[in-house]
Chains A and B, each alone.
Chain A
Amino acid sequence: MPDAQYANTQLSDPAKEAKARELMLTLRCLVCQGQSIADSDADMAGDMRALVRRKIEAGESPDQVRSWLIERYGDWVTYDPSFNSRTAVLWIAPVLFIVLGLFLARGRFRKKAK
């Protein structure tokens, strides 16, 4: 079978191709063991790359393409979890760690000498 158009062919507009490539790195291949569609040899990943490039070429924004896929496959398909009630802890965690660290470290320092 020939590769799907755009599975392994870049878009002619470099700006659109850059957008598509960035998006592909953040979409999960459906049939692989944890690879993005940009890093996979699987035929399905090729077809997904083709889909992404086709939609970007048609003028859709990366966010629209991502939403289109999430509508069909759920949050599993994106490596970039959006901020919502299920991912709140995930996104707040970094700040939490820093605050916790500062709290733990505060006792280690001498109070300002007068």
Chain B
Amino acid sequence: MIAEAGHALLWIAAVLAILQFAFGGIGVLRNDREFMANTKPVAIAQGVAALLSFLVLIWLFLITDLSVKLVVSNSHSAKPLLYKFAGTWGNHEGSMLLWVMVLAISGGAVALLEKRLSDRTLSATLAAQALISFGFYAFLIFSSNPFERMPTVPLEGLGLNPLLQDPGLAFHPPTLYIGYVGISIAFSIAVGALITKEVDPAFARAMRPWVLGAWIFLTLGIVAGSYWAYYELGWGGWWFWDPVENASLMPWLAATALLHSVTVLATRDGLRAWTIMLAVVAFSMSMVGTFLVRSGILTSVHSFAVDPERGSFILALLTIYIGGALALFALRASSVKEGTQFELFSREGALVANNLLLSAILGIVFVGTLYPLAAEALTGEKLSVGPPYFNAASAPVAIILILIMAAGPLMKWRKDDWKVVGQRLAVPVLVMALALAAFAIMAPNIGILSFLGFVAAIGVGAASIAPLWKRNLRRTPLFTWGMVISHLGIAVAIIGMASEASFTKETLAAMNIGDTRSVGPYSVTLKDVKPVAGPNWTAVEAKLEVRRGDTLIEERPQARMFSSPVTATNEAAIRTHFDGQIYLVIGEEQPDGRWQIRMWWKPLVSLIWAGGIMVALGGLLALLGRIRRRSAVDLLVRKEALA
């Protein structure tokens, strides 16, 4: 009965979505206040129904209900509780339900919280959001029903892919999806505003917190995914330019550009059509990404459930939504005035450059990801596009981008004097020059991209704190702090990336017990190799003595073997030190009894993810700052109204 209840809730949510679309649509068309007002409770009810349906699925996984097909094919009663729970979205159907739930809850949240949009635009927004939800409910119900029953109840489930049996599964997909799908709000608000033709600074101020919220989660989700791949795949790589990774990066790039253009629109009433375009593109990239990942049209190391038929369904949906939004844009954008023009040398000038370069990187990632497909369709011959292309094509653009990121926040809105900006930039430029000299002398052999990355990042690091100079720190608005910390986070992450790329030390060794090998500043001794057992796996575990100077630490990397389904995984031993990480992996036993041990010393590598977390934290501060200011303004308005 529980599974049927979950299934019924999905249907209810789908019906509510139709109702929400109809109410919103009629309300906007007839300008009927009553219909508009009724759209909101329906949107909230739809969010609740989707949430309940998702909770039901979690429950079925927690109790390992083996009458449900999805539980049988993806779970096992002997699995640790955490993975029963997180296993709910460790498969195609469950993760799609999570996807749709975020979509529905986003709509519900807008209905509940959004007070700045005009009633008409809000109703149009909710109608658009409902239309998207409806399509994906149909997709779930007709092609990926998570609540399907088994004809006969088996004794045991098949288990979850062991690569997914990791705490990362509990954190990465939910955060990523909240961001990935949460950005749908920007899409719907943009479509809503196109319909009502209300594209103005008020619209931008309404959209900004939603974009910011989704962007924070998207950032966290990507950072978490990168770290998970880094420790799970066992070869020390942290970003592979794999199609699935690119699918999450593309919405992030679009959302980051949007975040900056929406500020221009809110502050200077410029970039109207462009901001609309970016909002449409950001969520379009989420849908395209979902399509690429689920259809299996591109091979990826991370994909876990692919099916061309489902791919066609998602393709049909995204064609309707993206095609519809772009057609609406083409029809309506000419009636949206582009707003004010700018001086080239101004804050908004820098933000336009930021948008241009971010969009260029987005274009590069998009073309690089899909090029193999296009090339094969046209010539019939396979080719691969990988890290060498993505790095070579996007890094130069990214370096110019971060230099602009250094200067932009130090420029005034409207118009600035290059001499004055030059003075403000004097110290960061000096720091950068010193860094340039230092790296040229001390590390002349590192790659040109790493070299430029180091120098630019150090300059940005210095410049990004500059907006705080000579300011009363207590009275500095929270969103200024947010910007400073996010920009600093980018600099920190780039230093981590450049350091990992240029200073990593690798030692591959076949070791007998008692052998010692060195990697970077460490010497590693193999003390013992012995079998160990976990709840649903067995493993061989190496005992390694890791020495640096006088400090001695024991590390225990494992090679695990899971029984259901039979899969081998590597549990690298990774230890973070103040100046980097040591990464140890046990490989296979050789016929002569020696063990393969892989060791890496990766200086400053943890800065990559620390920087990423700073970027998200900055976003959070900015969001809090905006909310606080808004409530202060609201209070003021109310007081004035009373007076």
Binding site for B on A (CB under 8 A): 1-3, 8-10, 21, 25-26, 28, 32-36, 38-41, 74-81, 86-87, 89-91, 93-94, 97-98, 101-102, 104-105, 107-110
Contact = CB atoms under 8 A, between A and B. Distances in A.
Contacts of A97: 359-360, 363-364
Given A93-B363, A101-B359, A109-B344, A87 B590 contact: no
Interface in B344-397: 344, 349, 352, 356-357, 359-360, 363-364, 367-368, 371, 375, 379, 381-389, 393-394, 397
B299 interface: yes
Given A33-B300, A33-B301, 19 more contacts: A2-B590, A2-B591, A2-B592, A3-B596, A32-B301, A33-B303, A36-B386, A41-B234, A74-B381, A79-B388, A81-B383, A87-B371, A90-B367, A97-B363, A101-B356, A101-B359, A105-B352, A108-B338, A108-B341
A94 B381 contact: no
Interface size bracket, B side: 35 or more
Contact of A39 (B237, B364, B587): B237
Contacts of B349: 109
A93 B367 contact: yes
Question: Chain B contact residues: over half helix, strand or loop, or mixed?
Answer: mixed
B233 A39 contact: yes
B360 A94 contact: yes
B496 to A, nearest CB: 18
Contacts of B234: 41
Contacts of A38: 235, 237
B272 to A, nearest CB: 11
B514 to A, nearest CB: 19
Interface string B610-643: 0000000000000000000000000000000000
A81 B384 contact: yes
Contact of B384 (A1, A75, A91): A75
A98 B397 contact: yes
Given A2-B590, A3-B596, A75-B381, A109 B387 contact: no
A9 B242 CA distance: 27
A101 B338 CA distance: 16
Contacts of A109: 341-344, 349
B381 A86 contact: yes
A33 B299 contact: yes
B567 to A, nearest CB: 11
Contacts of A78: 384
A77 B570 CA distance: 26
Interface string B594-617: 001010000000000000000000
Given A3-B590, A108-B270, A108-B352, A28 B384 contact: yes
A1 B590 CA distance: 7
B387 A26 contact: yes
